[in-house]
Amino acid sequence: MSEECACSVLAFAVVLSWSSGAGPLVVFVTDHFSVDAFDADRVAGVRRRWLFFPDSIHAPKLFLHLPELAASVHDEFHDLTDPLRLPGCLPIPGPDVIPPLQVRSSPADSLMVCVTGRFLATNTILINSFQAIEPEVAMALQQPRLGRPPMYPIGPLILANNGGGG
C-alpha cells in the first residue's frame, strides 16, 4: 500500500489543490499506511497534516519508539529473552511484535522505521481508542514530548448499522 501511495502523490496533489469555492484545504488527515500522501498535501499548500491510527493506542506507541528500538535492540525481536518495555504499555514479548518487524534486516523493518519518522512530521495524531480502555498508555501518550506531535484518543469510532443495508 505504501508503494501505491508513493506512486500516486503527484496526481493526488492535483486533486488536493482543487478548490471547492470555500478556499484551500485547512487540514489533511491520512492513516498510517498512506503517509507518503503528505508529500501531496505539501505540494498543494495544505498547512496542517494529521495522522489517524485506526488501531489501539499500543500500536502508535510501538511505532513511535521504533527509531530508538532500532538503535538499541540489535537482536531479532523473536529471539529476545526479555520483553520490550515501552512507557505505559504492558511488556511485549519479542515473538508478539508485529511480523514486519520480526526480522531486523528485512526491507519491511527498514521501511517501518523510515515511515515512523514521517509520523513525527505530522501536526497531530488521532487514535481510535479511548482513555478508559487503555488508561496507562493513554496517559503516557498525552505527556508532552519534544519532537512528537500531540496525540488524542478520539474513539471508539465504530461502524453503526443504521438499517440501510450494505
Please say whether the beta carbons of 22 and 10 come within 8 A: no
Residue 19 has pLDDT above 60, yes or no: no
The pTM assigned to this predicted structure is 0.76
The pLDDT tens digits for 6-18 are 677 777 777 777 6
Q: Give the pLDDT score at 164.
A: 58
